[in-house]
C-alpha cells in the first residue's frame, strides 16, 4: 500500500492536468449514506414498496411530490447534518497546488465547494440540493433547512408552486452544460485520472479513465471495495478516501 501511494503521488507530482472523479464513498466518510454498496440506505424497497429509483424520480416529483420529497428530505437532512471530511479538504488543497486539477463529482452535498474547491474547476454532474427553485414561477428559495422542518412538499412563497432542488433525479437528463464542460476537458486530455469512492458504472466516469489509459495517462482507483474498473486501472488504493487522500497529499511537494 505504501509503495502504491508513493507511485500515485509521483504520477500526480509529474502531471499538470489531473481529473479527480468522486462518488458517494467520499461523502460516506462524512457520515452520509451511500445509495448502494456496504451499508447503503437504499438497498431494497422503500416503505411504500417502491425501488428508491422510482421514489426519487422526475416523474414521481410531478405525480406525487410529497412522496418524492419524503426521500429528498432524508438526503437533505443527511447533507445538512454533516460536513466535508479530510478527503474533500485534501482534494481542494491539491487543486490549489495544481492549477489544472479538475473535480467531477456525482455528489449533491456541496462539500467540495465548502472545502474550497474552485467552482470553475468543479463539475457537479448530478447538481446540488440547494438553492431550491419553484417549478411554476422559477423563483429561487435558499431556505432548504427551514422547509425540511415543515410539511412537505415545500411550497413557493410567491405563487404556491412546488419547490425542487437543482438536482438530477432518476429518469431525468444530465445537465447539458456540465456534460459539455466535462467532455471539453476530456478532449484536452488528462495525465492522471483518479476515481474516488464511486462504483464507476456510468459512461461519464468510465470514459475519462479509459481515455487516459488509451493516451498513456495514469489511472487510479481509491475504494475499499471492488468495482467495474478495478481490474484495469494502473493503481488501486484499497482504503477510505478520508484516510488515503491526506496521506497522498503529504507526499506531494509544495505541501
pLDDT, one tens digit per residue, over 34-53 is 654 434 455 668 888 888 88
Q: What is the mean pLDDT of residues 225-244?
A: 94
Residue with cell 411550497: 155
Q: Are 133 and 141 in contact (CB under 8 A)?
A: yes
DSSP 122-161: EEETTB-S-SEEETTT--EE--HHHHHTSSSSPB-TTT-P
Q: Which residue, 224, 222, 177, 229, is CA-closest to 207?
A: 229
CATH 3.40.50.1220 residue ranges for the chain: 1-32+84-129+173-255
The residues that are catalytic are: 126
pTM, two decimals, is 0.91
CATH 3.30.1600.10 residue ranges for the chain: 34-81+131-164
pLDDT, residue 1, reads 62
Q: Are 232 and 34 in contact (CB under 8 A)?
A: no
What CATH number has the domain spanning 1-32+84-129+173-255?
3.40.50.1220
Q: Are 102 and 125 in contact (CB under 8 A)?
A: no
User: What's the CATH superfamily of 34-81+131-164?
Assistant: SIR2/SIRT2 'Small Domain' (3.30.1600.10)
DSSP 89-108: HHHHHHHHH-TTEEEEE---
Q: What is the mean pLDDT of residues 179-206?
A: 93
Amino acid at each position: 500500500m505504501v509503495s502504491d501511494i508513493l507511485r500515485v503521488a509521483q504520477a500526480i507530482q509529474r502531471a499538470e492536468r489531473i481529473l479527480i472523479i468522486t462518488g458517494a464513498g467520499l461523502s460516506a466518510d462524512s457520515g452520509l449514506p451511500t445509495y448502494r454498496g456496504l451499508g447503503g440506505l437504499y438497498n431494497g424497497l422503500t416503505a411504500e414498496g417502491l425501488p428508491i429509483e422510482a421514489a426519487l424520480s422526475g416523474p414521481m416529483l410531478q405525480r406525487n411530490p410529497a412522496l418524492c420529497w419524503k426521500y429528498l428530505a432524508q438526503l437533505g437532512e443527511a447533507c445538512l447534518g454533516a460536513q466535508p471530511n479530510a478527503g474533500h479538504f485534501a482534494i481542494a488543497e491539491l487543486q490549489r497546488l495544481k492549477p489544472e486539477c479538475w473535480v467531477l463529482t456525482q455528489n449533491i452535498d456541496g462539500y467540495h465547494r465548502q472545502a474550497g474547491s474552485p467552482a470553475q474547476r468543479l463539475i457537479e454532474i448530478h447538481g446540488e440540493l440547494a438553492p431550491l427553485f419553484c417549478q411554476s414561477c422559477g423563483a429561487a428559495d435558499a431556505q432548504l433547512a427551514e422547509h425540511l422542518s415543515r410539511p412537505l412538499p415545500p411550497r413557493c412563497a410567491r405563487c404556491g408552486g412546488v419547490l425542487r432542488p437543482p438536482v438530477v433525479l432518476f429518469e431525468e437528463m444530465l445537465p447539458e452544460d456540465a456534460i459539455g464542460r466535462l467532455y471539453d476537458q476530456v478532449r484536452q486530455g488528462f495525465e492522471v485520472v483518479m476515481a474516488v469512492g464511486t462504483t464507476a458504472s456510468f459512461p461519464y466516469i468510465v470514459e475519462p479513465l479509459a481515455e487516459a489509459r488509451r493516451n498513456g495517462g495514469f489511472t487510479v482507483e481509491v475504494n475499499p471495495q471492488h468495482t467495474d474498473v478495478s481490474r484495469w486501472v494502473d493503481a488501486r488504493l484499497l482504503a477510505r478516501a478520508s484516510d488515503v487522500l491526506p496521506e497522498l497529499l503529504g507526499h506531494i511537494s509544495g505541501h
